[in-house]
């Protein structure tokens, strides 16, 4: 019998079967059927979150701590099962799915602790006898809109701080990955959240997401996804004068200098460009390589690429899972054709593969002879495709790295302290890596970018208070 998952609205599981969740490694495998909310259900969820806010925002920190800690413990205890379902619905490998699930557990654990650490300031006033208290309060109803590529970690890094600081939530996950979203909500619901505090509204972005954007009762929206949708979130939020935060695309450069350790540089490129099938906002899609190491780097990279095992995400031998769906596969292939037409040389891969089961398999693709002006170097492809851009020296590498509409992550492989330090200071990205892949970040420190990649306060770590709380300044005259 096919699994059927409902939406959670005001503490009740509701909804009719609406959409099917297909395994991209095997399109004959249906993960389950999922309710698809209409605008009325979205409005009910927003009303429920609004009604639940006064009590939840004034709840004792230890009550919030207990729910978050319990959720963390259950996610960790079930990491293999949840990670497997994640790999099954999204297509990243089993190891990546379990790793992402562990990260979600760590995020809930971190923010459980933060419930007890929210602090303010007490400062003297300029007026005698007056004291000034600066405190942080919950914002209200937070709308959470998430993409498909991190089905559990991104919901976790938004839901955990929102709840920790006393906000109530309307959560709209991406259509392609509802199982991970449902699981996290089910766990939190059973961990003891009062009704209405966390509402799950699965459904179409143009319906449920739009209803959230159009509601005057949603006080803040945190969004991760494409630039196009992000701009809609921004425009609607300005209209309602609400707080908003956007995490969007990337075109992240990995600079490889002549003095780099070749093995480290190749490891960084393989991991950053191709792991998770290149479907990471932090993926290294531009490999900016100086001419002294260029040929050796390309040869060593191709040698490693030949050995990469592309296949069913649930097969333990697989290193690169399938592309998430047919639309994304077409986008990847279209960009590969664009790159060739622009004059870049397809040095490796970029071909559809037949697996043992029908799925969206693509061999990782490497372009050489690319320029930074080509569309494949400027637009986010969001697949296992990377371009090598040959440059003369460090100065040109830095200029090319920064010449992009995006600014999420960047990386440099070098053994020069001078160049590493200069790059950290001058790279126009929110996160900079030295001798590390551009993808792969810690859960307890700020995450976010610059330029077209991000807008608003940083996510994660203690910096999350900037978005999920609002500051109050209170004056008291005590004589």
Looking at the DSSP assignment, which residues form a beta bridge with residue 367? 346, 387
Cβ neighbours of residue 118 closer than 8 Å, sequence gap 6 or more: 61, 136, 165, 465, 469
Q: Which of 24, 161, 196, 225 binds ligand NAD (CB under 6 A)?
A: 225
How far apart CA 223 and CA 232 sit, in angstroms, is: 11
Residue closer to ligand NAD by CB (options 167, 276) is 276
Site string for ligand NAD, 428-457 (x = CB under 6 A): -------------------------x----
Using H for helix, E for strand and C for coil, what is the string for 358-395?
CCCEECCEEEECCCCCCHHHHCCCCCCEEEEEEECCHH
Minimum CB separation from ligand NAD for residue 382, in Å?
5
Among 224, 284, 318, 427, binds ligand NAD (CB under 6 A): 224
How distant, in Å, are the alpha carbons of 136, 257, 335, 474 from that of 211?
28, 49, 33, 35
DSSP single-letter state for residue 208: I
210 lines the binding site for ligand NAD (CB under 6 A): yes
243 binds ligand NAD (CB under 6 A): no
| Integer angstrom CA distances of residue 175 from 2, 146, 429, 464 | 17, 10, 30, 26
Extract the tokens encoding 306: 């030949």
> Which sequence positions are flagged as catalytic?
247
Residue 218 to residue 169: CA distance in whole angstroms = 9
Q: How far is the CB of 174 from ligand NAD (least distance, A)?
A: 4
| Binding segment (CB under 6 A) for ligand NAD, from list 83-91, 207-215, 333-341, 412-420 | 207-215
Minimum distance, C-beta of residue 239 to ligand NAD, in the bound complex (Å):
13
Query: Encoding tokens for residue 412?
Result: 């440099």
Q: Which is nearer to ligand NAD, 74 or 175 (CB)?
A: 175
Stretch that binds ligand NAD, among 118-126, 194-202, 226-234, 371-379 (CB under 6 A): 226-234
Shortest distance in whole angstroms from residue 263 CB to ligand NAD: 29
Indicate whether 327 belongs to the interface with ligand NAD (CB under 6 A).
Answer: no
**Shortest CB 170 distance to ligand NAD, Å:** 12
Query: Residue 336 in contact with residue 385, Cβ under 8 Å?
Result: yes
For the bound state, the minimum distance from the C-beta of residue 355 to ligand NAD, rounded and expressed in Å, comes to 23
Is residue 181 involved in binding ligand NAD (CB under 6 A)? no
| Phi, psi values for residue 216, rounded to 5° | -70, -10
What distance in Å separates the CA atoms of residue 242 and residue 233, rounded to the nearest whole number?
10
Residues in the chain: 479
- What distance in Å separates the CA atoms of residue 400 and residue 377, rounded to the nearest whole number? 10
The 10 Å Cβ neighbour count of residue 474 is 10
Site string for ligand NAD, 129-168 (x = CB under 6 A): ----------------xxxxxx------------------
Establish if 232 lies at the interface with ligand NAD (CB under 6 A): yes
Binding-site member from 27, 226, 331, 371 for ligand NAD (CB under 6 A): 226
* Range 267-286, binding ligand NAD (CB under 6 A): 281
Other Cβ atoms less than 10 A from the Cβ of 30: the count is 13
Residues forming contacts to ligand NAD in the complex (CB under 6 A) are 145-150, 172, 174-175, 205-206, 209-210, 213, 224-226, 229, 232, 247-250, 281, 380, 382, 408, 453
């Amino acid at each position: 019998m096919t699994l059927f998952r409902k939406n959670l609205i005001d503490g009740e599981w509701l909804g009719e079967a609406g959409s099917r969740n297909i395994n991209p490694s095997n399109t004959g495998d249906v993960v389950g059927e999922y309710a698809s909310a209409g605008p009325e259900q979205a409005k009910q969820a927003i009303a429920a979150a609004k009604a639940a806010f006064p009590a939840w925002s004034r709840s004792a920190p230890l009550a919030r701590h207990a729910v978050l800690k319990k959720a963390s413990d259950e996610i960790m205890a079930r990491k293999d099962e949840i990670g497997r379902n994640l790999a099954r619905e999204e297509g990243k490998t089993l190891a990546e799915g379990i790793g992402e699930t562990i990260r979600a557990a760590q995020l809930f654990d971190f923010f459980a602790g933060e419930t007890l650490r929210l602090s303010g300031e007490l400062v003297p006033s300029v007026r005698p006898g007056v004291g000034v208290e600066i405190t942080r309060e919950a914002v209200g109803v937070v709308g959470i809109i998430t993409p498909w590529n991190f089905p559990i970690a991104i919901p976790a890094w938004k839901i955990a701080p929102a709840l920790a600081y006393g906000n109530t939530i309307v959560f709209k996950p991406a259509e392609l990955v509802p199982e991970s979203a449902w699981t996290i909500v089910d766990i939190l619901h059973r961990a003891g959240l009062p009704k209405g505090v966390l509402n799950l509204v699965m459904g179409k972005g143009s319906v449920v997401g739009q209803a959230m954007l159009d509601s005057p009762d949603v006080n803040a929206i945190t969004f991760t996804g494409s630039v196009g949708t992000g701009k809609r979130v921004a425009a609607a939020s300005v209209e309602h004068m609400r707080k908003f935060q956007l995490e969007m695309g990337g075109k992240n450069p990995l600079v490889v200098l002549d003095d780099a350790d070749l093995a480290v540089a190749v490891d960084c490129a393989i991991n950053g460009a191709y792991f998770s099938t290149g479907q990471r906002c932090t993926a290294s899609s531009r490999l900016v390589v100086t001419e002294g190491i260029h040929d050796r780097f390309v040869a060593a990279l191709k040698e490693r690429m030949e050995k990469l095992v592309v296949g069913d995400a649930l097969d333990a031998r697989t290193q690169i899972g399938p592309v998430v769906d047919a639309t994304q596969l077409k986008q990847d292939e279209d960009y590969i054709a664009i790159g060739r037409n622009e004059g870049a040389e397809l040095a490796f891969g970029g071909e559809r593969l037949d697996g043992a089961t029908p799925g969206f398999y693509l061999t990782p693709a490497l372009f050489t002879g690319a320029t930074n002006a080509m569309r494949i170097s400027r637009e986010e492809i969001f697949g296992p495709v990377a371009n090598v851009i040959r440059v003369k020296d460090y100065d040109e590498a830095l200029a090319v790295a920064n010449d992009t509409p995006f600014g999420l992550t960047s990386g440099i492989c070098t053994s020069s302290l001078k160049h590493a330090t200069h790059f950290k200071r001058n790279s126009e990205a929110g996160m900079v890596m030295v001798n590390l892949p551009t993808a792969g970040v810690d859960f307890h420190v700020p995450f976010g970018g610059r330029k077209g990649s991000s807008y608003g306060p940083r996510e994660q770590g203690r910096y999350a208070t900037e978005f999920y709380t609002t500051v109050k300044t209170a004056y008291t005259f005590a004589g």
